[in-house]
Structure 1
Amino acid sequence: MTKTADLRQKDVAALQAEVKDLQKAHFNMRMQKATQQLNNTAQMRLTRRAVARAKTILAEKQAAN
């Protein structure tokens, strides 16, 4: 997962792409969990929080503009 400092260096377009990628990864994990193919369910929590972190920084940057 990306750290907050790394996310703050990205521009708005890169952050939007990051959020999209993280959401897609989280969706895939949800589908794996539903079909009982996901071994490490703790990874879902980390991904969900990474999405929230990226969205927060994206909102901060958009508010600054």
Structure 2
Amino acid sequence: MKIHEIRALSTEAIEAKLNDTKEELMKFRFQLSSGELSDFTRLRQTRRIIARLTSVLNERLRNPESEVINE
């Protein structure tokens, strides 16, 4: 998920996506510890998506007028 795609989402959608992505990261960590994870790049990609989501969410919390909703 690219940063411009995240910025196009509403704040509620970003929060929901952040929760889903954190759950996905937790599943990947369990798979890694049990030896079932074969694609290690998914861990890195998921962490980066979480960072992007968190960054945009914090931008919006600091400046509520910057929220963009495409309808």
Fold equivalence (TM over 0.5):
yes
Q: 2:31 is matched with which residue? A: 32
Q: 2:18 is matched with which residue? A: 19
Q: Which structure's CA Rg is the greater one?
A: 2
The two structures, once aligned, show a CA RMSD in angstroms of 0.7
Cα offset for 1:38? 0.3
Percent identity between the aligned chains?
A: 25
TM-score (normalised: structure 1): 0.94
Which runs of at least 4 in structure 1 moved beyond 2 Å after TM superposition?
A: none
Q: How many residues align?
A: 64
Q: Distance in 2 between matches of 1:46 and 1:63?
A: 26
Gaps of 5+ in 2: 65-71
Q: 1:56 is matched with which residue? A: 55
Cα offset for 1:44? 0.1
Cα offset for 1:47? 0.3
TM-score (normalised: structure 2): 0.86
Q: 1:10 is matched with which residue? A: 9
Structure 1 residue matching 2:38: 3-state secondary structure? coil
8 Å CA contact retained: 1:12, 1:62: no
Cα offset for 1:30? 0.2
